[in-house]
Chain A
Amino acid sequence: MELNISLAPEILFKIGSFPVSNSFFWMVVVSISLMILILTIRYKFKQVPGRTQAAFEILIEGGLDFVQSIIEDKDIAKKVFPLVFTLFLFIMLANLITFIPGSAVVLESGEGKVSLFRAVMSDYGIVIVMTLVAVITAQIVAIISFGPFGYLGKYFNFSGMKEFFSELFRGKLKFGLLAQGFLDIFLGLMDIVGEIAKIVSLSFRLFGNIFAGEVLGMVMLFLMPWFLPLPFQFLSLLTAVVQAFVFAVLTLMFISLALKIDDEDLNEKATV
């Protein structure tokens, strides 16, 4: 056995010029099984619930309650809930599917040995796509709730400068207002940096955790295949669920923040 650690997903085969990597393959598998699973449950839904339905209802209602506790508006919560809940289920299923034994299966391909299995979330491409979906959704929500100008005004904040110049035209020179104006602009630009940092932190948190878990498991398996990987397996089991939850909740947080920035919030930021 040899260690085969690669940051990028390995290509299994090609359809035309499109390379199908092992993580992409498993992403499709996980997506389809999730759809089948949930649609099966949904089409067995009855007015009087059975056991499976009751459990799923508890999951949905609990999730919805949680979303509502963060986003106070009920209607918006109902619109946001599917995105957050799907992200949670998808990431969790994708992480848990790696615990099916057989992760050492190796395929011979043109470029040498390629492992068939790879944790879906250890492909940075998938994670960054999900992160972009989450962050862009939050930005769209912000644009809808504050209007395009309110939204841009958050990042390019000239309100302090305007005040300084209006005072200047009245013949008063207030350097405090000038400093305030520069601070506003600076903080607005910092918010842009913050948005980019959000993307980086959100994506690398998930990717890093899962990838590290995979590598750690592989290394432990390599060092001693008996019993030693077990505690690390438990650890990555915990990570699998927790990271799915964290990703979904952070997405929810971004959206709720996008809903909540009001003038008061802006003033608070401006007067810091």
Chain B
Amino acid sequence: MEIIKALGIDNYWVLIAQFVNLAVLLFVLYKFAYGPMMKMLDERSAKIAEGIKDAEKANKKLEETESREKDVLNKAKKEAKKIIAAAEEIAEKNKAEILENSKMEADEIFRKAEEKIEEEKNKLREELKKETIELVMMATEKVLKEKIDSDKDKEIIEKVVKN
């Protein structure tokens, strides 16, 4: 055929060579370029999707923890208020008790002191009595210049003093 020769496709070895060339080009690019490239792109888009998912999760978690934190804070505040109130109550009670106790103690001390004073007073009085008696005895002895019987003397003096 004239046209086949004119177009230069009469040598089938050339056509086969051209086909082989094209096939090698397609194979190399498919095997070593597009395949890995598309895989990589897919992997990356999967990674990005995962990243977005993770970010959403993290956001959710953050919100949750924030609300939980608020709850905890509120609870803690309430508890603290309760504790303070209880402490105040206890302190009030303690104050009253301590006041009462101290009052009682003071009373006791006061009473004891009075008792002691009374006792001392009595002791002093007794001593004074004794001394007076001795003094009177001495005086009377001196006055009488004469000592009768010591027992009789004492008797007499006691009589005098009593009267």
Task: Name A residues whose Cβ lies closer than 8 Å to a Cβ of B.
Answer: 7-9, 18-19, 21, 24, 27-28, 31, 34-35, 38-39, 41-42, 45, 47, 57, 60-61, 64, 78, 81-83, 85-86, 90, 123-126, 128-130, 133
Contact = CB atoms under 8 A, between A and B. Distances in A.
Contacts of B41: 57, 60-61
Nearest to B7: A124
Contacts of B8: 7-9, 21, 123-125
Interface in B2-23: 5-9, 11, 13-15, 17-19, 21-22
The bracket for how many chain B residues form the interface is 20 to 34
Given A19-B14, A42-B32, A130 B9 contact: no
A45 B18 contact: no
B84 interface: no
A133 B44 CA distance: 33
B22 A130 contact: yes
A7 B34 contact: no
B7 A39 contact: no
B25 to A, nearest CB: 5
Contacts of B21: 27-28, 31
A128 B30 CA distance: 22
Contacts of B11: 19
Nearest to B10: A8
A128 B9 contact: yes
Contacts of B32: 39, 42
B139 interface: no
Interface of B: 5-9, 11, 13-15, 17-19, 21-22, 24-26, 28-30, 32-38, 40-41, 44
A203 B62 CA distance: 63
Contacts of B36: 42, 45
Contact of A90 (B9, B17, B25, B38): B25
Contacts of A9: 8
Nearest to A27: B21
B6 A8 contact: yes
Nearest to A10: B8
12 contacts: A7-B6, A27-B18, A34-B29, A35-B28, A38-B33, A42-B37, A60-B41, A81-B38, A86-B26, A86-B29, A124-B8, A125-B8
A47 B44 contact: yes
A82 B34 contact: yes
A22 B29 CA distance: 24
Contacts of B30: 82-83, 86
Nearest to A124: B7
Nearest to B30: A82
A126 B25 contact: no
A45 B15 contact: no
8 pairs of A and B residues whose beta carbons are closest in the complex? A8-B8, A124-B7, A82-B30, A82-B34, A125-B9, A42-B33, A31-B25, A129-B18
